[in-house]
Structure 1
Amino acid sequence: MPRFFVGTDQISDKDIVITGTDVNHIRNVLRMTPGEEVTVSDGQGMDYFCRIAELTKEEVRLDIVDSWHSFVELPAKIYLFQGLPKADKMELIIQKAVELGVYEIVPVATKRAVVKLDPKKEEKKRLRWQSIAESAAKQAGRALIPQIATCITFEKALRMCNGLDAALIPYEKAEGMQHARDQVRALHGKHSIGIFIGPEGGFEESEIEAARAAGAIPITLGHRILRTETAGLTMLSILMFELEED
């Protein structure tokens, strides 16, 4: 069933009004007609089951049939601090991270990152990434659209980490699997969790030490070396499985 996001100001007691680009998508791409059903999220935790009542060129009016508090979000907000990868890997990372339940993705310029974002094109790139996040959120039935932050330095990322309840940083020289399991299990009850993932070249030792000093705990993801686009998704998969509630 098609899913859309709206602001709370577009919702009344009995109906919802969709405007903007979604109107064209409903009318001309999905070719929906009055009486057909959609789900809508307000991005604040409420979901709505609706039927199309009226379509015009400017808006689509929906009758609210039912509503409920969304149950799809993880109990903790997970922040993915992703070292800038090469080529279009970031698009894959964003799409899959949103499907796995990430709350926010923060691109990070690390010492070994090959990619350097052009300041003149950075916002255009971020908007492209945000569009991918929105599409993935709709497909996955998320109750919110994860935000893609502007790219920040590793030092600023560590300062953000100070405001979180916990943070993990996968590192090939970290202690064994039992230590990793213990650290993941210790995340139960935390409300905000940071995950730091390095670029293709990984983190420098000095960055690991700085992260440790900021409170991030190095853990291993096993005996194999994972690509940057694999490491973050592996970490998110582990957290989703561990933290997901019935």
Structure 2
Amino acid sequence: MHHFFVTPEQVKEDGIFIEGADVNHIRNVLRMKIGEKLKISDGNNKKYVCEIAEFTPAEIVLSICEEEQADTELPSKIYLFQGLPKSDKMELIVQKAVELGAFEIVPVVTKRAVVKLDAKKAKKKEERWNAIAEGAAKQSGRSMIPRVSAVMSYAEALEYAGALDVVLIPYELAEGMKETKALIETIKPGQSVGFFIGPEGGFETAEVERAVESGAKPITLGKRILRTETAGLACLSILMYHLEG
């Protein structure tokens, strides 16, 4: 069954009203007909099984057949601050981070990042990454579409992370799996959690020190050095296991 997302405002007493690009996709790409069913998530932890009731030039009207509370979201909002990687690695990171339950992905410019994006390229990349996030959210049964934010400088990212309850920074020179485990176990459901992942070359020592000064806690992900596209997913998996387990 095809899965689509709407805003809570599109859910009304007399049905759900599909707008925008999804109208063309349902009508002309999928060629769905009146009476066919699809799944809808409202971005507010509710899921619906709906039936197409009416096509109009600008929207599609759905009648609600079933309604249920979604249980596919983590009990905490997890923010991945990802140092910009080379080539198309960010696309893989976004896709898998959404599957693992990330609430938001923040692309970050760091000292050792090779990728340089001007405003036009950054906007185009942002649109592409958000489209990938939407596709991954549909595939994995998420009840909301995680946002990929605009590319931030390291200073902007640290400031943004300052509003979160817990901020972690996996660092290849950090030691103490025992201490890392104890720190992870202090994170409680409902707390917002952010973590910073460096690009291919990792973080410079000064960047780690700056993050720690801002309140981030350095942790280790083990004795092996992980690639940038692996490290964030490993951290997300650990947090998912802890919060849902």
Q: Distance in 2 between matches of 1:26 and 1:191?
A: 38
| Alpha-carbon contact 1:74-1:244 (below 8 Å) kept | yes
Q: Which amino acid aligns with 2:114?
A: V
Deviates most, 22-31 or 65-74: 22-31
Distance 2:189 2:133 in 1: 26
The whole-number CA distance in structure 1 between the counterparts of 2:214 and 2:9 is 40
The aligned counterpart of 2:73 is 73
The answer for the alignment partner of 1:194 in structure 2 is 194
* Mapped pair 1:120 → 2:83: no
Q: Which residue of 1 aligns with 2:59?
A: 59
Matched position secondary structure for 1:137: helix
> After superposition, where does 1:16-165 map in structure 2 within 5 Å?
16-165=16-165
- List 4+ stretches of structure 1 deviating above 3 A: 55-58
Once residues 118 and 165 of structure 1 are traced to their aligned partners in structure 2, the CA distance between those partners, rounded to angstroms, is 32
Q: TM-score, normalised by structure 1?
A: 0.94
Q: State the one-letter code of the partner of 1:227.
A: R
User: After superposition, what is the alpha-carbon deviation per residue over 1:113-167, rounded to whole angstroms, capped at 9, x for unaligned?
Assistant: 1111112222122111111111111111111111111111111211122211001
Write the distance in 1 (CA, Å) between the matches of 2:53 and 2:26.
Answer: 13
Contact 1:166–1:190 at 8 Å: present in 2 too? no
Identity percentage of aligned residues: 58
**How many Å apart are 1:68 and its aligned residue?**
2.3
3-state SS in 2 of match to 1:242: helix
Q: Which amino acid aligns with 2:11?
A: I
Distance 2:41 2:207 in 1: 39
CA deviations on 1:13-71 (whole Å, 9 max, x unpaired) are 13111122212222233332222221111112221121122235532221101222221
1:227 and 1:160 map into 2 onto residues whose CA distance is 25
Partner of 1:2: 2
Contiguous gaps of at least 5 residues in structure 1: none
Q: CA deviation at 1:190?
A: 4.7
Letter in 2 for 1:102: A
Please report the RMSD computed on the Cα atoms of aligned residues, expressed in angstroms: 1.5
**Structure 2 counterparts to residues 202-213 of structure 1, below 5 A:** 202-213=202-213
Report the 3-state secondary structure (helix = DSSP H, G, I; strand = E; otherwise coil) of the residue aligned with 2:73: coil
SS where residue 237 of structure 1 aligns? helix
Match of 1:13 in 2: 13
